Structure 1
Amino acid sequence: MAGEDAELRGSTTWEGFAVLGHAIRREPAIFILSTLGSVLFAVLTVADAWVLGWATDHVVIPAFENGEIATGLLWAVLGLFLGVAVLRAVGIVARRLGAGVMQFRMQAHTRRAVTRQYLTLPMEWHQRHPTGQLLSNAYSDVEAAWAPIAPLPMALGTVVMMAIAVVQMILADMVLALVGLLVFPAVVVANLAYQRLASPLMTHAQALRAEVSEIAHESFDGAMVVKTLGREGEETDRFRAKAHELRDVNIRAGRIRAAFDPTLASLPNIGVLIVLAVGTSRVMAGQTDAGDVVTVAYLLTIVAFPIRAIGWLLGEFPRSVVGYRRTEAVIAATGSMEYGAATLPSAGRGAVLEVDSLHYAYDPATRLLDGVTFDVQPGRTVALVGQTASGKSTLTNLLTRLVDPDEGQVRIDGVDLRDLARGELAGAVALVPQTAFLFDDTVRGNITLGADIPDDVVWAALRDAQADGFVAALGDGLDTQLGERGTSLSGGQRQRISLARALVRRPRLLILDDATSAVDPEVEARILATLRDGSTDTTLVVVAYRKATIGLADEVVHLDEGRVADRGTHRELLGRNRDYARLVNAYEQAAHEEAAGSATVPSSAGGAQ
């Protein structure tokens, strides 16, 4: 961490300006508008000092000397102050509006780019990055990356203000200007000290924000597990520890800021006191005018403001650089998913699936698939059966190219999946995973996912998934809002909606990864029978556990420890493969025991009553 902080301190300023340069190149018109507004504000702020000095020499002092004020001069002073104030207000509006629009546009552009990249990157990349970190990249890192845009126009305008003010101070009185400008080195030293102390703390705080987000997302996503196991206290403690660490780092940074701001504010005031003291003696000696003293003193307070504004800009750089690095790491990520130019028929007969010597491992020490080979002919149904961790779900990920194999090929109609053009596979293959994910949308929206699909086609898919009955009974039918993750539905209903989502696209190859496990066995049998008998143009691969489900398949591929242990019809494997028979009967026995247990609970409860 110390080495990283030292590197960051050395490059923060230049990287921060580079980040701002990227924003300026993307939004030049808005940047120019906001900068011109800031320059207008700066010039008129300095003009205030000139008006104040002119009013002192031509109105205030003559009033003390003569005991009266000329009406014309009074109106002139009021007009000058009012005109400067109105134009300065116009500059403030242009500056703030332009900076805000530029900042929010850059945030929106970056968030869209990050989100598009998330949807483009392969699952292999997502598996290496926690979901909480991805959320932090798309939200807090994007926000931090473009935070310096807000003070940028003001800082640029104040540079102009500072240059004009210094020139005007020198023209008013060279000696007083030199005395007043002695505060500059002190302010610069204070800014450098603040950057050195605050930058590593702000960098660490930005990293901790991502960690807090990760823990919160895990806890929310696993709320059911946490509650059923009674681990609320432990999760709260885990979150509290990281949140307190973030709090402590922010407090330490706040203490530094609390010491820095008063110091920075006091230095110009000290300079003003020195200028007034020296200026009084020079006025008494007849070496300058009182108006010049007032002008220089006022200009000195103005000169201090630009340095503070630049300090605010530089103070945002540590968080900005960290946030920009993280978002750019996502946008620049390529993963290992490359595409060819081959195409597949969009409709017609079922797909020919060929799996040839597949090898796959999440890490070198754990090989999940080892030389898996089989094929499925068009319109046929194949069941994948195996113990837990035998590689079934990993195989379905490979069949849909969510990940690529380490060795071997998956071919559809003789074409290697890696040779297909981007998006081509999704038009021919559909996967219904183990966990049915539903969006906070209507039934129609969850099935079509925004595609232009007629309602009659949606209802047909629901009928094939045995979901038309309960959907019709919902309050608004297809327009019923399902809530986040479909919490208003049962597990079996969510699975059937998820299945209808795949069927509505009429895939040539349909892969079901235990996609009906929460459905009643009779309903599951009807679903599979419909798919098998009514969709002869669809090739079906089913990860199955229930004997009745397996019995509907034309062929069974028995996986054991990542290899194809046997292959044949369900009846053939029962007769010749003892391990397969033991596995299938064990699943069946477990299902019967679970059903028997569920049936005895109401009876016992009734007896107790």
Structure 2
Amino acid sequence: MSVVSAPVPRQPATRAVLRRGLGVIWGGIQVERRPFALAVVGSVLWAAATVGTAGAIGWLTDAVIEPAVGRRSVSAADLWAIFGLLALVLAVNVVGVILRRVYATVAGFNLQARYRRGVTRQYLRLPLAWHHRHPSGQLLSNAHADVEATWQVFNPLPMAIGVIFMLLIAGGMMILVDPFLAFIGLLVFPGLFAANLVFQRAMSPRITRAQELRAEVAQVAHESFEAALVVKSMGREDEEADRFRARTLELRDSLVEVGRTRGTFEPVIEAIPTLGTLAVLGVGTWQVAQGDLDAAQVVQMAYLFSILAFPVRALGWVLAEIPRSVVGYDRVQHVLTARGGLEYGEGRARRDGGPAASRLDSVTYRHEGEEQPALHAVDLVVPAGSTTALVGPTGSGKSTLTNLALRLVDVEGGAVTLDGADVRDLGKGEIPAVATLVPQQTFLFDDTVRNNVTLGADASDESVWAALRVAQAEGFVRALPDGLDAMIGERGGMLSGGQRQRVALARAVWRRPRLLVLDDATSAVDPSVEQAILAGLREASDGMTVLVVAYRMATITLADQVVYLEHGRVLDRGTHAELVDRCRGYADLVHAYAREAAERAAVERSEEEAR
């Protein structure tokens, strides 16, 4: 359950990173052209209004304020001129800010939603083998934190583009006012850009590492929630808390380092424009004294520098976000470009009712990364309308065989057929339409009993109750306060393990499959209830073939044929009585099952007597 700590990645603002980051940004712009264009229009309006404020103040100083000071009175016309001009500039500024912020947000969140949908669709498309190689915490991080990191840059981007226009307009205005003073002031900007670049180089690896640690903390937390039963039953609460604590402390230290770096650079970056303003005021005052400039021009220049100080920071924000975007994009693309999945043909499964026939011919399957095959040259015939029990020791390949029968994974060699058609030739959705799996580890949604049985499909109460009756779930469901409409909690937490299995079985029965596959799907129910379930399935199986992974004698003895597996091979098949007589491994195994069942029954009887 440990999480390996990754080294702090080096993410300097190299040309390669900047080029890739700009490529990511351009791809996003192409997808969200209209919202981004409106955000840029708003940003340009904001830039023009911000710089225009300086021009307006300069003009008002020269044309209104200085004359009013000279005559020591202010007329109503003067006040209306000041108010009207500033209100006009403010209105343009407000409209620009609204457009910029609203549509930058729309573009960014549209991209996040698009990519989250793409990632989750890919999760559904990729085969089970791929999911087995990727922990669920990492998959959650890909769909959330990494997608967010990729497109977070769209928040400051329109503002940064507006800043470029602002600098061009302001630079032109300053040059028109006085080239020498503009030159003195503009010397600030190379220093500001250099400071932002150094800031970005220092911040990028720290922010990237913090992003990785967020994913690791999420992964540890998710494992702790999923393994709550194991943790509590094994008394590992303190150890699990220590594991989570170590990750959170590492994340804390990483975020502190980010804050320390930010706290070091930000005062310097804030000070540079102030120094430029002071330089402009100093040189401008000297020029006013010499008669080369008037006070209004110096005020206009100083104000321009004061209002440019904060917006120019947006360029640094974009530079700081680019490496994070590249890291997030690479992680998301790892999912979106993953190879695998099942290819489908155009064939259709027979849906005219009646049980299905399943067959495996010389099937071989090997789990990825393993040298020995899980199944080797397996031949199996499951006749239509029969009940076939798969029996074998742990690791013999029983669950793998059921997955192959329903084409949850593809064979490495040989073929699997359903009613004589190769399952690889059937169209998408054809197998689920006629065959259903009930696994041992059942999953129920945080929803009503009805919706867990029908999965949201329209159904009459009678059909749902009939399925629950076959699964021996009718009694406890009727006892629930709201019956079919009772909420059963996350993963069915309001029900016992056996009750969850019975609801999952009812879910399969309700679909009236032609092939029903049970992978030890009644392991949590009492033997007497299991016998009633199996009897109900036999009565309802006039149109159903049943393939069951069996451990209990009640299941095995009810089967029409028993298939015994060891080490991925079929060693024998026949009735229970035939295999007991001629197959030593099978006899030893079922006798062990019987002894275990007898011991469990004796314990339960003694507990009952003690009560």
TM band (smaller chain): over 0.9
1:139-184 superposed Cα distances (whole Å, 9 cap, x missing partner): 1112111111111221122221111111111111111100000011
CA contact (8 A) 2:385 2:546 kept: yes
Match of 2:206 among 201, 211, 226: 201
Q: How far did 1:603 drift?
A: 4.1
| Comparing 127-136 and 15-24, the one that deviates more | 15-24
Say whether residues 1:69 and 2:74 are aligned partners. yes
What is the match of residue 138 of structure 1? 143
Say whether residues 1:297 and 2:294 are aligned partners. no
What CA RMSD, in Å, does the superposition of the two structures yield over aligned residues?
1.7
Which stretches in structure 2 are left out of the alignment for 5+ residues? Answer: 1-5
Q: Which runs of 4+ in 1 moved over 6 A?
A: none
Match of 1:528 among 528, 534, 548: 534
Q: How far did 1:344 drift?
A: 0.8
What's the TM-score, normalizing by structure 2?
Answer: 0.96
Match of 1:563 among 566, 569, 575: 569
CA contact (8 A) 1:24 1:31 kept: yes
What is the match of residue 215 of structure 1? 220
Match of 1:192 among 192, 197, 206: 197
1:23-56 superposed Cα distances (whole Å, 9 cap, x missing partner): 2222222222222222111111111101111122
2:57 partner letter: L
In structure 2, what is the Cα distance between the partners aligned to 1:424 and 1:196? 54
Q: How far did 1:522 drift?
A: 1.6
CA contact (8 A) 2:445 2:489 kept: yes
Q: How far did 1:6 drift?
A: 5.0
1:345-364 superposed Cα distances (whole Å, 9 cap, x missing partner): 12422111111122222233
Q: How far did 1:4 drift?
A: 5.6
Say whether residues 1:243 and 2:248 are aligned partners. yes
Match of 1:334 among 334, 339, 355: 339
What is the match of residue 3 of structure 2? none
Q: How does 1:386-425 map onto structure 2 within 5 Å?
A: 386-425=392-431
CA contact (8 A) 1:162 1:306 kept: no
Percent of aligned pairs with the same amino acid: 53
Say whether residues 1:24 and 2:29 are aligned partners. yes
Matched position secondary structure for 2:427: coil
Match of 1:266 among 261, 271, 281: 271
| Comparing 463-472 and 507-516, the one that deviates more | 463-472
CA contact (8 A) 1:166 1:303 kept: no
In structure 2, what is the Cα distance between the partners aligned to 1:257 and 1:133? 28
In structure 1, what is the Cα distance between the partners aligned to 2:213 and 2:69? 63
Q: How does 1:410-559 map onto structure 2 within 5 Å?
A: 410-559=416-565
Q: 1:8 to 1:282 in 2, by over 3 A?
A: closer
Q: How far did 1:75 drift?
A: 1.6
Matched position secondary structure for 2:437: strand
In structure 2, what is the Cα distance between the partners aligned to 1:200 and 1:402? 41
What is the match of residue 63 of structure 2? 58
Q: How far did 1:444 drift?
A: 1.2
In structure 1, what is the Cα distance between the partners aligned to 2:290 and 2:298? 13
Say whether residues 1:46 and 2:51 are aligned partners. yes
In structure 2, what is the Cα distance between the partners aligned to 1:281 and 1:576? 112
CA contact (8 A) 2:13 2:201 kept: no
Matched position secondary structure for 1:566: strand
2:307 partner letter: I
Which stretches in structure 1 are left out of the alignment for 5+ residues? Answer: none
Matched position secondary structure for 2:309: helix
Aligned length: 605
1:437 partner letter: F
CA contact (8 A) 1:208 1:242 kept: yes
Q: How far did 1:336 drift?
A: 4.3
Q: 1:73 to 1:6 in 2, by over 3 A?
A: closer
Say whether residues 1:171 and 2:180 are aligned partners. no
1:449-499 superposed Cα distances (whole Å, 9 cap, x missing partner): 122333322222111111122212211111111100001111111001101
Matched position secondary structure for 2:563: strand
Q: 1:449 to 1:8 in 2, by over 3 A?
A: farther
Matched position secondary structure for 1:536: helix
CA contact (8 A) 1:357 1:371 kept: yes
Q: How far did 1:9 drift?
A: 4.5
| Comparing 236-245 and 300-309, the one that deviates more | 300-309
In structure 2, what is the Cα distance between the partners aligned to 1:473 and 1:227? 30
